[in-house]
């Protein structure tokens, strides 16, 4: 499977990445190469092999349900670009 320019534009938009028009062709080629690798792996017979979700042979540890965090709003909001009335302000978004 190979990607064309339109595919790259869509992926970049979804990931909110800005891509220079001049770089499009090169990126399309590189991503296509990665997909080719995936295709090779797809071709391998994996009958009877359990799917792997994580490279470590460990399982998730569970936390006790306890409140351990205190209010540190002031510290967090000191590094935010804009705040008001305890809220983080962002450019207007309307659904």
Chain positions contacting another protein, by CB under 8 A? 10, 13-16, 53-54, 56, 58-69, 71-73, 76-77, 82, 84-95
Closer CB to another protein, 43 or 64, in the complex: 64
Provide, rounded to whole angstroms, the least separation between the CB of residue 16 and another protein.
6
Closer CB to another protein, 22 or 92, in the complex: 92
Closer CB to another protein, 1 or 14, in the complex: 14
Q: Which among 23, 39, 38, 93 is positioned nearest to 9, based on CA atoms?
A: 23
CA distance 90 to 82: 7
**Residue 83: beta bridge partners?**
88
Provide, rounded to whole angstroms, the least separation between the CB of residue 30 and another protein.
18
R_g over Cα of the chain:
22
Provide, rounded to whole angstroms, the least separation between the CB of residue 31 and another protein.
13
CA distance 19 to 39: 26
């Amino acid at each position: 499977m190979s990607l064309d320019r339109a595919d790259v534009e869509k992926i970049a938009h979804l990931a909110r990445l800005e891509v220079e028009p001049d770089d499009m062709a090169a990126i399309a080629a590189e991503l296509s190469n990665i997909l080719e690798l995936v295709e090779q792996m797809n071709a391998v017979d994996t009958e009877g092999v359990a799917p792997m979700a994580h490279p470590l042979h460990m399982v998730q540890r569970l936390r006790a349900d306890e409140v351990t965090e205190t209010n540190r709003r002031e510290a967090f909001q000191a590094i935010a670009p804009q705040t008001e009335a305890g809220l983080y302000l962002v450019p207007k978004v309307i659904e």
